[in-house]
Structure 1
Amino acid sequence: MLKLPRYYSPMAQVVLVGFVCFLCPAMFNALNGMGGGGQVDRTTGNNANTALYCTFVVFGILGGAIVNLCGVRWTIFGSGLTYALYSGSYIYLNHTGNGAFTIAAGGLLGVGAGILWAAQGMIMVSYPREEEKAHYIAVFWIVFNLGGVVGGILPFAINYHSDTDSLSDGVYVAFVILECLGAALGLALAPPAKVTRDDGSSVVLVKYTNAGKEAVEILKLFMNPMMLALLPMCFASNFFYSYQYGPVNASIFNIRTRGFNNIFYWGAQMASAYALSFLLDNPRMTRRTRGLIAVAIVAVFFNAIWGGTLKLQQKYTHGPLPSGEPTDYPGGLIDFLDSKRAAGPIILYTLYGVGDALYQNLAYWIIGSLTNDNQKLSRYAGFYKGIQSLGATVAWQLDAKNVSYMNQLIGNWVLLGISLFPMLYMAATLKDHSDDDVGETKSQYLAEGDDDTVKQV
């Protein structure tokens, strides 16, 4: 019989935050994966994403401090509502053609997303023990990307018989409802001070002092040699989304097939994250060996899929244009029922999901291997998401400014190559156990009451 984890156990909390992300960020990913938020003209969607990631850069970096000061529950609740507002803005766009509200909602979503992902990252990589971090990351990734699968099914099913190239209001309404539920689920998370591992140890070891101290710690991140070494990895980790969603998915597939593709894209992420966890948590190898093997796998796999993409990209230069001009992909837009034309491109798009999961899970594992201090990890996770968003800001503007598809592909490939070298260096320097200061100070802190934080005594 399946035994459910204790409510106050780390696993229960990771699963809960996974379902929050299932209902909020995963729905956003599914919507974004349609290309331009499901619109024929991707300009508004691209500009909204630019606004989103501009604010995400700032609040991703500040997110760890905000979570440390305010706790996880209400910050996640408020952040979740920004996802619902963003999805709802497309209903207004459908009826007015005015993209200002959607772009503004994108900017507000960047604030919420930065805070939410800092809280999520802290929970996911600081709650488990060192030897099980990859397993917890994989569990989260599976639950989270199950939301992407559901988010792919919705537009696929609702638009199955549609002959338009834009999503209907019903799809956006469904996203809004799910995202509101996700925000409410954030209130079900336990205060970190109450979460205990099965051996009785608390997941909270240290306490912030005040807002001034948090500001100083955030500034120190930009002088931290480990964080500086990870800058290329952080910058590249979401850069490829705009190319995969727009120049590929939205440019050569019809509307229902885009949703169909996303089912496999996010499903592949679930399987890949689970498979990688067996390597990254393997007790028979040193942490350094595991890291080096994982970086090698990422390097080989990504170069292979970008090579396949190069062959595909040589066939076309643009997707459907707002002027009504169709894509110049041979034979026009692909429908999934046309198996001879669809099989190769759909398999390639599915492999994009594999590559994304491998890269992101390895990145989180490396960050989680640097320390076991949950306060530091909340800042590290925020730094990762902030710099990641800076890369995404640049990427979405490349598509918004109509940079050629081939140049976007080359940019992605070059950036990947650059990011692999510092990842390799960080993996080579990993120790089997993190160096933490918390061991000497643990007895100085005590969890009290229902507070989200830990009060110093």
Structure 2
Amino acid sequence: MATSPTLESQHVEEKRIWYRGTLFNAFVIGAVGFLAPGLWNAMSSLGAGGAESPFLVNAANALVFGLMGIFCLLGGPIANRIGLNWTLFLGAAGYPVYAAGLYTNNRFGNVWLVLVGAVFCGVSAGLFWASEGAVALGYPEPSKRGRYMNIWLIFRTGGPLVGGAIVLALNHAATQKTKGKVGPKIYLIFIALQGIAAPIALLLTKPEKVQRSDGSRVKIVHETSFAAELRALGRAVSRRDIILLLPVFWAAYFNQYLGNFEVYYFGVRARALIGFVGNFASLLSSQLISLLLDYKGFAVKKRIQIGFYYVIFLHLVAWIYAWVVQSKFAREDPDLDWTSKNFTLGFFVILLWYFSQQALQNWLYYFVSTKTDNISELSRFTGILRGQESFAQAVSFGINTRDWYGGRVPLAVNTILLGLAVVPTWLAVKEHTPVEIEKKYGSEEDYVETTSEVLGGDARSKLVVVKSNAH
């Protein structure tokens, strides 16, 4: 490795290019999230993908998340070999196939394409989440990480919001007060919009070319081969701090009973309204916790600790209330329209679930992002996080393929899992020492850049070595 002896001989003022900035890349990742998983969530927020019965779609979703879990874990090594932009491209390509399966099932009663679409979507989603998480957390300036994560999540939540508006516009008639399925036109709109996501993904800047406003670089340390990447993944999975977080990785996304709750107790147009309005709860939740996570009055560790107690409080409120309402609805078996007496009672359960789950997801991503300043390692961490969440959703959807005593069994399993996650998560927070990258990057005099070529087959990447006078 050849090292420049002085800063003066090495430093050249870099020309700022707008499409290499962190804001542009946040919008790229946000747009792909809006069109691909965002619109998928819009279909999911209808309750079982808008189907009349939840069981086929829940089985397909169990397949989606099972495959997604595997490819989330492999997504980090794959992204480190073929690049984040191509991984993101492949990660968006399978979503329209899934929507096509729902369309043919809704229109013609076709079953096989639902399952084929689930396979395509599961593989794509795994690659998408591993790459998207690394970009959303690893590209921004550390001091703006919470803010940029919020931009990413606003876009992703905007997908269900726009999708929900489309659904509501097409399913608001008085004839759709009762239980049933949504109209097939919705899926054609979703297929067209999701098809745009993959080309947009190619606009993503490569990590080594990203230009941060504070002058710091995205740190990249690739392994020399795919086998070495897998060994690095194995080391990451076996870390004590990651093992402690596995229960909360599962608990954060396990509540797929929400879709069954909608189908059991709400009519079509009520579900359409819930799918639209419920996203505002997620947006508000994301905004509030992002303000906390970027608040400079507290050290990073303090923000993580406060966030931990905050999400516990939200989940206690949400799940106690949910149990009260579930017990009432299980006895009465209502068919609720938005004009019904108990509509608000059930709708508030769903709003609380959305709000508490979004707060936990934001907090988890921020927590994981403070474990490393190397985007290659971060892609492995986010892949593990999303992989475990995906396995959890696969199991949860599998449980929800049957009517377990009016939903009491999946509700109980989810509640127990949340309770079991509290102590190991608290230990992980207690033992955590954040990598506060902003302290490593000061003025230009605080660091010297050196580059070397790390070769692995035909893959070539720039390695940035940072020397800080502060350490």
Under a length normalisation based on structure 2, what TM-score does the superposition of the two structures give? Answer: 0.87
Please state if 1:89 is matched with 2:101.
yes
Q: How far off its partner does 1:72 sit?
A: 2.1
Moved more, 271-280 or 58-67: 271-280
Give 2:229's aligned residue.
214
Give 1:74's aligned residue.
86
Q: How far off its partner does 1:119 sit?
A: 0.7
Which of the residues 316, 319, 326 maps onto 1:303?
Answer: 316
Which protein shows a greater Rg?
2
Give 1:286's aligned residue.
299
- Structure 1 contact 366–426 (Cα < 8 Å) conserved: no
Give 1:174's aligned residue.
189
Q: How far off its partner does 1:444 sit?
A: 3.5
Q: Partners of 1:381 and 1:359 in 2: how far apart?
A: 15
Give 2:116's aligned residue.
104
Letter in 2 for 1:234: F
Q: How far off its partner does 1:210 sit?
A: 1.6
Q: Partners of 1:297 and 1:199 in 2: how far apart?
A: 31
Please state if 1:259 is matched with 2:272.
yes
Please state if 1:269 is matched with 2:274.
no
Query: Aligned with 2:202: secondary structure?
Result: helix
Change beyond 3 A, Cα 1:135–1:9: same
Q: How far off its partner does 1:433 sit?
A: 3.2
Q: Partners of 1:203 and 1:453 in 2: how far apart?
A: 16
5+ residue gaps in structure 2? 1-16, 442-446, 465-471
Give 1:323's aligned residue.
none
Q: How far off its partner does 1:373 sit?
A: 0.6
Give 2:356's aligned residue.
355
Give 2:451's aligned residue.
444
- Structure 1 contact 368–377 (Cα < 8 Å) conserved: yes
Q: How far off its partner does 1:205 sit?
A: 3.2
Q: Partners of 2:125 and 2:448 in 1: how far apart?
A: 32
Please state if 1:243 is matched with 2:257.
yes
Change beyond 3 A, Cα 1:194–1:174: same
Give 2:62's aligned residue.
50
Give 1:312's aligned residue.
325
Q: How far off its partner does 1:432 sit?
A: 4.7
Q: How far off its partner does 1:29 sit?
A: 0.9
Moved more, 255-264 or 196-205: 196-205
Letter in 2 for 1:444: T
Q: What is the number of equivalent residue pairs in this alignment?
A: 436
Q: How far off its partner does 1:402 sit?
A: 2.7
Q: Partners of 1:259 and 1:16 in 2: how far apart?
A: 28
Residues 114-263 of structure 1 mapped to structure 2, 5 A cutoff: 114-161=126-173, 162-163=175-176, 165-240=180-255, 242-246=256-260, 248-263=261-276
Q: How far off its partner does 1:313 sit?
A: 0.7
Change beyond 3 A, Cα 1:274–1:19: same
Q: How far off its partner does 1:270 sit?
A: 1.2
Q: Partners of 2:141 and 2:432 in 1: how far apart?
A: 16
Q: Partners of 1:447 and 1:179 in 2: how far apart?
A: 36
Q: How far off its partner does 1:453 sit?
A: 6.6
Which of the residues 431, 434, 438 maps onto 2:433?
Answer: 431
Q: Partners of 2:122 and 2:243 in 1: how far apart?
A: 23
Give 1:29's aligned residue.
41
- Structure 1 contact 139–274 (Cα < 8 Å) conserved: no
Moved more, 267-276 or 117-126: 267-276
C-alpha RMSD of matched pairs (Å): 2.5
Which of the residues 76, 88, 101 maps onto 1:64?
Answer: 76
CA displacement, residues 317-353 of structure 1 (integer Å, 9 cap, x when unaligned): 3xxxxxxxxxx745x3211133x32222222211221
- Structure 1 contact 80–112 (Cα < 8 Å) conserved: yes
Give 1:391's aligned residue.
392
Q: How far off its partner does 1:196 sit?
A: 1.3
Give 1:325's aligned residue.
none
CA displacement, residues 6-43 of structure 1 (integer Å, 9 cap, x when unaligned): 32111221221011101110111111121221111212
Which of the residues 423, 447, 461 maps onto 1:454?
Answer: 461
- Structure 1 contact 88–172 (Cα < 8 Å) conserved: yes
Q: Partners of 1:128 and 1:237 in 2: how far apart?
A: 24
CA displacement, residues 171-212 of structure 1 (integer Å, 9 cap, x when unaligned): 000111111112221122122221110133321432332212
Give 1:38's aligned residue.
50
Q: How far off its partner does 1:73 sit?
A: 2.1
Query: Aligned with 2:196: secondary structure?
Result: helix
- Structure 1 contact 252–329 (Cα < 8 Å) conserved: no
Q: Partners of 2:459 and 2:312 in 1: how far apart?
A: 40
Q: Partners of 1:445 and 1:284 in 2: how far apart?
A: 38
Q: Partners of 1:271 and 1:95 in 2: how far apart?
A: 36
Give 2:411's aligned residue.
409
Q: How far off its partner does 1:221 sit?
A: 2.4
Give 1:382's aligned residue.
383
Under a length normalisation based on structure 1, what TM-score does the superposition of the two structures give? Answer: 0.90
- Structure 2 contact 305–429 (Cα < 8 Å) conserved: yes
Query: Aligned with 2:19: secondary structure?
Result: coil
Query: Aligned with 1:153: secondary structure?
Result: helix
Change beyond 3 A, Cα 1:300–1:453: farther
Q: How far off its partner does 1:75 sit?
A: 2.3
Q: How far off its partner does 1:368 sit?
A: 0.3
Change beyond 3 A, Cα 1:432–1:113: closer
Q: How far off its partner does 1:316 sit?
A: 3.2
